[in-house]
């Protein structure tokens, strides 16, 4: 589990046998990431949760599956900057939102406009399920909601009604300290929708009909037709209270 608050940048290099090398260019970068890192730990690399298999003097090695290479941008980012965040520790501050590191799909930057106080960035989100780029994300995108782009926790400032595109306002600190500043129109990005939105959609009956993922007492017949149906009595009956 992560927060979406990027700690530093690294450079990625694809190796053989489904491994990647993440190098940290400066001693400050290395101290931030490697100080408390151990083999087996998780690190979000451009928003993708990867497992550390070796720690080096100037970086680390991580294992990456063929599916992750196919369903994220990591397979196309050799020798490019990636955002890094170590996993959330119990008792740590949660300054962003809950980010799982499980990418939903790949989107792209449409426009980037500098304003007086921020960078307004518009992204195209996957709006249909695709074998290569992942599941549609549009249903989970709402104004003022949370979304992770390349592992960065951002707030949706605006989007179309269907969520096919969304816009965020990025403050200078976030823009300069992450790889958002390296993106150009057309650049691909990893997108993870807010996990809370996914669960709400599931309970509202918009997800899979597989009831095995629901709480033990909440069956497929317990469909919620509107937010008004979610009452304390309903929650108690279905094992939430």
Does residue 158 sit in the same domain as residue 182?
yes
Does residue 39 sit in the same domain as residue 117?
no
Separation CA 154–CA 118 (nearest Å): 13
Does residue 114 sit in the same domain as residue 191?
yes
Domain annotation covers residue 109: yes
Q: How many CA atoms lie within 13 A of 36 on its CB side?
A: 8
Tens digit of each residue's pLDDT (9 = 90 or more) over 37-55: 999 999 999 999 999 999 9
From 57, 86, 115, the end of a domain falls on 86
Tell me how many domains the chain contains. 3
Domain annotation covers residue 113: yes
Does residue 115 sit in the same domain as residue 168?
yes
Does residue 109 sit in the same domain as residue 59?
no
Q: How many CA atoms lie within 13 A of 65 on its CB side?
A: 8
Q: Count the Cβ atoms, other than its own, within 10 Å of residue 239.
A: 11
- CA 202, 206, 208, 212: dihedral to nearest 10 degrees? 30
Separation CA 241–CA 220 (nearest Å): 19
Domain annotation covers residue 217: yes
Domain annotation covers residue 201: no
Does residue 109 sit in the same domain as residue 26?
no
- Per the CB < 8 A criterion, the answer to whether 153 and 146 are in contact is yes
C-alpha distances (whole Å) from 108 to each of 14, 73, 162, 189, 234 are 22, 10, 17, 6, 40
What pLDDT is stored for residue 29 in this prediction? 79
Domain annotation covers residue 94: no
Does residue 114 sit in the same domain as residue 187?
yes
Separation CA 41–CA 106 (nearest Å): 25
Separation CA 73–CA 22 (nearest Å): 15
Q: What CATH number is associated with residue 30?
A: 2.40.30.20
Split at pLDDT 50, 70, 90, the class of 164 is confident
Does residue 79 sit in the same domain as residue 115?
no
Does residue 117 sit in the same domain as residue 161?
yes
Tens digit of each residue's pLDDT (9 = 90 or more) over 178-216: 999 999 999 999 999 988 888 877 777 654 444 444 444
Q: pTM of the prediction?
A: 0.80
Does residue 121 sit in the same domain as residue 51?
no
Domain annotation covers residue 228: yes
Q: Which domain holds residue 34?
A: 8-86
Tens digit of each residue's pLDDT (9 = 90 or more) over 45-98: 999 999 999 999 899 999 998 888 888 999 887 789 999 999 987 767 677 788
Domain annotation covers residue 91: no
Domain annotation covers residue 203: no
């Amino acid at each position: 589990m992560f927060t979406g608050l990027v700690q530093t940048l690294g450079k990625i290099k694809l190796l053989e046998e489904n491994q990647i090398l993440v190098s940290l260019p400066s001693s400050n970068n290395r101290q931030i990431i490697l100080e408390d890192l151990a083999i087996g730990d998780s690190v979000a690399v451009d928003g993708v949760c990867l497992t550390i298999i070796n720690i080096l003097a100037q970086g680390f090695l991580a294992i990456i599956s063929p599916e992750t290479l196919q369903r994220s941008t990591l397979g196309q980012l050799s020798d490019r900057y990636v955002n890094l965040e170590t996993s959330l520790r119990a008792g740590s501050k949660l300054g962003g939102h809950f980010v799982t590191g499980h990418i939903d799909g790949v989107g792209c930057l449409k426009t980037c406009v500098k304003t007086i106080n921020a960078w307004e960035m518009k992204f195209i989100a996957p709006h249909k399920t695709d074998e290569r780029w992942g599941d549609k994300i549009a249903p989970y995108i709402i104004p003022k909601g949370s979304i992770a782009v390349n592992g960065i926790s951002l707030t949706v400032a605006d989007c179309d009604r269907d969520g096919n595109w969304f816009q965020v306002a990025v403050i200078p600190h976030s823009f300069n300290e992450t790889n958002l500043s390296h993106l150009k129109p057309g650049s691909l990005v990893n997108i993870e929708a807010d996990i809370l939105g996914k669960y709400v959609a599931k309970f509202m009956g918009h997800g899979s009909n597989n009831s095995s993922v629901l709480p033990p007492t909440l069956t497929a017949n317990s469909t919620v037709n509107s937010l008004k149906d979610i009452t304390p009595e309903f929650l108690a009956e279905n094992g939430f209270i």
